[in-house]
Amino acid sequence: MSRKHSKKKINNYDYKKAFKRKSDLSFRKKAGMAFVAANLLIAPAAGTYLGENLGQSNVAEAASLAEVQLLSDVNINADLQDSGNPDFYNLNLQLTGTGLADLELVNPDRSVVFYAEELAGQLSNNGPADVTVEILPIVLEEDLPALSNSIAGVTGSVNDLVAGLTTTLDNTINGTSLAGLVQVEGLDELGTALESLNNLDAALQDLTQYNGQAEVVINGDGSVVVTFEDGLGNHVEAAVENVVQSALNDVLTAVDNVNVTLLDSSPLLSGILETLVINPIVNPLVSGVTSTVNGLQQDLTSGAIDISNELAGVQVVGNTTVNANVLVNRPAGIEGDVVVQGAGITTSVIDAELLSSLQSSDVITFDEDATAPVLDSADITGNSTDGYAVTGTGAEPGDDVIVSDADGNQIGTSIIAEDGTYAVDVAADAVVPGEVLTVQAIDDAGNVSEPLPVTVPEDVDDVVPVLDSADITGNSTDGYAVTGTGAEPGDDVVVSDADGNQVGTGIIAEDGT
């Protein structure tokens, strides 16, 4: 276990062991550990003296909410908001609830699920969720038995040291030349450190709440899942370890400050003190405490004592709030109310049976027009010189009308007037005669009508041609020739008799004749 408490997953959690431990645990009242100072023959001096009294995982598929419920008193708040993006709504989802008391947990999963069946396929991610969890009290013997046993070893070694500095020392120096001359400094501090060890449960009653973020997973069935066991587990593990390490550091500091001295520090008496007290009694006991504490601290740092694994099966979840935001397609193609359900659960398996058993809910309302507009007609007039006008009628005044070219490019827009008519101007250079254009209406909700095609008309030549001259030559035997000049080469020339009957034709040549 890294002291940095980096994010990790619990891969080897022993579900069966955790369940058996939770079921078989007898709630034993802890025996209070105290030490009694003996009456020693010492002279009064400054400081603290002898003689003073010191005070694998077998995860079954979820069948229903009742089997995997994590939270009670669940309240769901769903709020459909403008996202600032015309293509999406923002759906704010909030769940609050309280951890179920005495919950028997057999796996480490901690999740919140929201579910809106009608929004299946309409949702997309909009960032992580915010998670706040008040941590329930942790009881060492009950919830962290391995750690509790190790702390008991530390407590025992500290009690041995206290006994050595009091009763054993008193018995050793009684009747010797050291009687009444030995003082022990640091017993008060040692007693305070021992008291902290004995009251770790009290310190674990008031762990700081968890505030973090968790990934939002959106499923195709309309469910939104926020899983937060990793962040919560790392937070609780760090909080517990900090409390324990602080208490252990206090023990080491107190032991370092223990000092056995003489009121008369003559070389002779100092030698006797070393021989009778320091070497055979004090040093081994101090070494025992230091070694035991250092060993426990190393086990916590290395993960040999795995707090996170033991806590994975402990109900530490109190009042909980999860706040997530997801995007909803706009338009969603939905009109009216949509039910959003939710729950706090102890499983990562989200199936239809679980979703169908959700109870807490809220309602969001889609006030949008899901009906596509209708264009009744579309016509086009104009020419390649002056431009074109697409006109017609539509069913919904106020809708936009868009004209697109053959490649789908928008080349003109307008709005259906109150009388149901519309007119869209199209620039002459935007299209070519014979090109098929598309005309569609779009309403405020983004619904689009069926397209109507119109074909750009060919240009009509309505300019009267001009003949500059006309002459006739010939005779009744050989026939006649009508000649002259005209302004437009290629035009037909028709000669008619007095009765209007066509008697001859020709074409104006390139030179105008």
pLDDT one-digit tens code per residue, 469-501:
889 998 988 889 999 998 889 888 999 998 989
Q: H or E segment at 126? A: none
- 106 with 13: CB under 8 angstroms? no
- What confidence tier does 106 reach under pLDDT thresholds 50, 70, 90? low
Mean pLDDT of the 147-175 span: 95
Which structural domains are found in the chain, ordered by start?
Answer: 65-368 (no CATH), 375-456 (2.60.40.10), 467-508 (no CATH)
The yes-or-no verdict on residue 41 having pLDDT over 80 is no
Number of DSSP helices (H) and strands (E) in the chain, helices first: 12, 24
Instruction: Give pLDDT, residue 37.
Output: 33
**Residue 502, burial from CB neighbour count under 10 angstroms (0-12, 13-18, 19+):** exposed
Q: Which long-range contacts (CB under 8 A, 24 or more apart) does 453-458 make?
A: 453/378, 454/378, 454/379, 454/380, 454/390, 455/380, 456/380, 456/388, 456/431, 456/432, 457/380, 457/381, 457/382, 457/383, 457/388, 457/433, 458/433, 458/434
Share the mean pLDDT of the chain.
86
Give alpha helix (H) positions in 332-379: 352-356
Higher pLDDT, 62 or 115: 115
Beta pairing partners, 242: none
Pairing of the two strands 387-393 and 379-383: antiparallel
- Output the six-digit token pair for 506: 């020709």
Q: What is the pLDDT of residue 66?
A: 86
SS3 state at 256: helix
Q: How far is CA 117 from the centre of its chain?
A: 20
Helix (H) or strand (E) holding 247: helix 229-256
| Distance of alpha carbon 111 from alpha carbon 93, whole angstroms | 14
* The pLDDT value given to residue 349: 87
Query: Alpha helix (H) ranges present in 257-323?
Result: 267-273, 283-302, 307-311
Angle at 348 between CA 89 and CA 102, to 5 degrees: 110
Nearest to 92 by CA among 120, 126, 119: 126
Whether the per-residue pLDDT at 205 is higher than 90: the answer is no
- Higher pLDDT residue, 462 or 157? 157
